[in-house]
C-alpha cells in the first residue's frame, strides 16, 4: 500500500519541483533580459540546449518504438512548436522584461484555469457538478481566475534584478509598458494552455 501511495504521489511531487524550477528560471531570465540580451536569442539558446540535452536520450530509448513522421504528425509538431517556443516563450519573456518575475509568474498562474476551460470545451473533461472532484476543479478555476485578475489590477512594488544586489523599489513600470506586458502575458498563457491541449493526442493516443 505504501509503495502504491508513493507511486501515485510521484507526479504531484514532480509538479511541485517543476514550479520551483520555473521560479528560479524567472529570476535568472529577468536578470539576463535586464542586462540587454534579446528574448529571441534567449529562446533560441534555451531550445538549442534543451534539444542537445534531450535528443540523445530520446534517440537511445525510443529508436525502436518511434512512429514514422507523416504529414499530419509533422503539422501537429509544427503547431506545437509555434505555440510553445515561438509564441508562448517570446511573449512571456517580453512581459517579464517589462514588469517583474513576481507579476509575470502570478499572471501565468491563469494557465491551469484556461487549460481546464479549453479541455471542457473540447470535451476532454467532463464537468459533473454532483462529483466532488469536479466541484474542486470548478472552484479552483474560479479562484485562479480571480487571483490573476486581482494581480493584474493591483499595482504594487516590484523587485529590480538588474543591479548587482537585489533591491525592492517603489517605482513601477510605465503605464503603457504595464498594459502591454499584461496583454503579452495573457496571450502567452492562452498559447501555453493550447500547447497542453494539443499534446494530448501524442501522449494518450487512445
Integer Cα distance of 94 and 153 in angstroms: 19
| 117/169: higher pLDDT | 117
**Which pLDDT belongs to residue 49?**
93
Q: What is the pTM of this model?
A: 0.79
**DSSP label of 110:** T
What is the widest separation between alpha-carbon atoms in the chain? 57
Arithmetic mean of pLDDT, 85-100: 92
Assess contact for 97 and 39: CB atoms under 8 A: yes
Highest mean pLDDT among 27-36, 133-142, 168-177: 27-36
Domain residues of the chain, as ranges? 2-203
Confidence of residue 187 (pLDDT cuts 50, 70, 90): very high
- 168 φ, ψ (degrees, to nearest 5): -95, 125
Quick one: how many helices (H) and strands (E) in the chain? Answer: 8, 2
pLDDT tens-digit map of 75-84:
988 999 999 8
The C-alpha cell that represents 28 in the structure block: 535568472
Note whether 92 and 188 are within 8 A (CB).
Answer: yes
Place of cell 499584461: 182
Amino acid at each position: 500500500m505504501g509503495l502504491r501511495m508513493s507511486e501515485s504521489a510521484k507526479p504531484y511531487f514532480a509538479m511541485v519541483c517543476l514550479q520551483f524550477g520555473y521560479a528560479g528560471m524567472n529570476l535568472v531570465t529577468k536578470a539576463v533580459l535586464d542586462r540587454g540580451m534579446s528574448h529571441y536569442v534567449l529562446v533560441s539558446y534555451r531550445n538549442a540546449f534543451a534539444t542537445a540535452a534531450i535528443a540523445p536520450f530520446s534517440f537511445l530509448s525510443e529508436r525502436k518504438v518511434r512512429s514514422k513522421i507523416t504529414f499530419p504528425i509533422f503539422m501537429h509538431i509544427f503547431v506545437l512548436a509555434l505555440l510553445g517556443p515561438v509564441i508562448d516563450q517570446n511573449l512571456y519573456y517580453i512581459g517579464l522584461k517589462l514588469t517583474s518575475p513576481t507579476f509575470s509568474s502570478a499572471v501565468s498562474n491563469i494557465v491551469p484555469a484556461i487549460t481546464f476551460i479549453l479541455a471542457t470545451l473540447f470535451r476532454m473533461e467532463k464537468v459533473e457538478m454532483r462529483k466532488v472532484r469536479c466541484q474542486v476543479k470548478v472552484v479552483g478555476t474560479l479562484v485562479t481566475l480571480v487571483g490573476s485578475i486581482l494581480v493584474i489590477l493591483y499595482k504594487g512594488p516590484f523587485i529590480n534584478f538588474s543591479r548587482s544586489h537585489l533591491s525592492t523599489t517603489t517605482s513601477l513600470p510605465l503605464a503603457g509598458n504595464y498594459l502591454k506586458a499584461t496583454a503579452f502575458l495573457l496571450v502567452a498563457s492562452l498559447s501555453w494552455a493550447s500547447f497542453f491541449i494539443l499534446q494530448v493526442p501524442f501522449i494518450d493516443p487512445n
